[in-house]
Amino acid sequence: MKKVVRAVVVSAALAAGLLSVPASASAAGTPYVPGTLRPSVSQATQDAALQKYYDFWKKNFLTTKCGSGTYAVLSKDADHSFVAEGEGYGMTISAMMAEKDPQARSIVDGILKFVKAHPSVNNKDLHAAEQDSNCKSVNGSDSATDGDLEIAYGLLIADKKWGSSGSVNYKAEAVRIINAIKKSEVNGSTKFTLLGDWGNDAEYKNSSRSSDWMPGHLRAFAAATGDSFWDSVRTRSETAVSQLQSSYAPNTGLLPDFVVSTNSTPKPAPSNFLEGPYDGKYSWNACRDPWRLGVDAITASGSAAAAQVRKMNTWIKSATGGDPAKIQSGYSLSGSKTESGQHPCFTAPFAVAAMTDSGSQVWLDKLWTAISSWSPDATDYYGTGITIQVLLILSGNYVAA
């Protein structure tokens, strides 16, 4: 799969305000690093917001149309009905909702069944990245690294929640996929993730997607397999983030969607490298970076991501004057707007970055108000899926595998 075109769904105007009810320290997830901020509302209020979005997601984006015993996540705003990242999101979200939804395990098992029914043509242990409305693999039937990373992580969460002695051995399934990712979706020389199992050709082998640099996932893969290779992949990407911020975004900390020259000195991809004119900008892929880096910063003591996302947080708070409604749908690395309008996938991740900064409680509370006040869009799988995962983190229900 060499190209995914996202339909841009612009959300309604965000509500802004300040919540003041004291936060509860108790939640179902992994304890956070001391000093991590949480929204200034009760745990019950946080859990209620999460439940509202989760119920909406289940109603509008989960389907059983692809076969008996299967679940699949509909990607209504992508260019195909099903995409790999959506299935990965579905597994992770459902596993983390284990205590709140009696159907959660059936959903995880059903998505796994769908994933295994659609193997990549290049490596049968990876997932073919796109399926059409008839549940048939299309567009080459090869893989997308972001989807496989998330599917494997979701299985590790399932193992934490339910163990692996039942009908599905979640740990074994995860390790099987992790080993396949190592074989087919990581450049063995540079230790950077590839774009997919098609990405080893001359044009793409020294490129990567910054939103695939998920340090928490890579820590979990190292722990699950006992393979230090994953520590090397993590530290290589951590170094690249710092290099890119220093050289290309010293005032914003923003990262580009795609990175090239990973065999030498990583740099932003040129325009139209893979998806469009903003491939070297902070756009529809990199919008996930404050979330992916931020969650490692608050769950792993000493994470390199802490300083990295604080740069992003400091900039966006200043650039918007502390008003979440002014966050736009994409930026150059220097901070100029590339696309106008608001979208959850750009706003919500900055809330995770805010959790890392002790001076950002007011800003975090405004972001919480904005995020929890949105009216979800039944056509926007991407924004809804990201919002739920941010709410899992904000509410303390996130699990680090």
Active site residues: 85, 146
- Residues sharing a CB contact under 8 Å with residue 324, sequence separation 6 or more, in sequence order: 14, 16, 347, 350, 366, 367, 369, 370
**Which amino acid, 348?**
A
Q: How far is CA 196 from the centre of its chain?
A: 16
H or E element that contains 208: strand 207-209
Q: Is 380 exposed, middle or buried (0-12, 13-18, 19+ CB in 10 A)?
A: buried
CA–CA gap between residue 72 and residue 107 (Å, rounded)? 8
| Sole residue written with tokens 């040129």 | 270
Please give the single-letter amino acid code of residue 137: S
Q: CA–CA distance from 140 to each of 1, 77, 111, 119 (Å)?
A: 6, 20, 21, 11
The pair of structure tokens assigned to 228 is: 């230090």
Helices (H) and strands (E) in the chain, counts: 12, 7
β-bridge mates for residue 130, sequence order: 83
d(CA 292, CA 88): 14
| C-alpha span between 392 and 401 (Å, rounded) | 14
**267 forms bridges with which residues in the sheet?**
260
Give the whole-angstrom CA distance, residue 63 versus residue 72. 5
SS3 state at 337: strand
- CB under 8 Å to 55, separation ≥6 — which residues? none
Locus of tokens 């567009």? 139
Angle 84-96/381-394 helices, nearest 10 degrees? 30
Spatial CA neighbour of 326 closest among 11, 14, 10 = 14
Look up residue 211 and give its DSSP letter: G
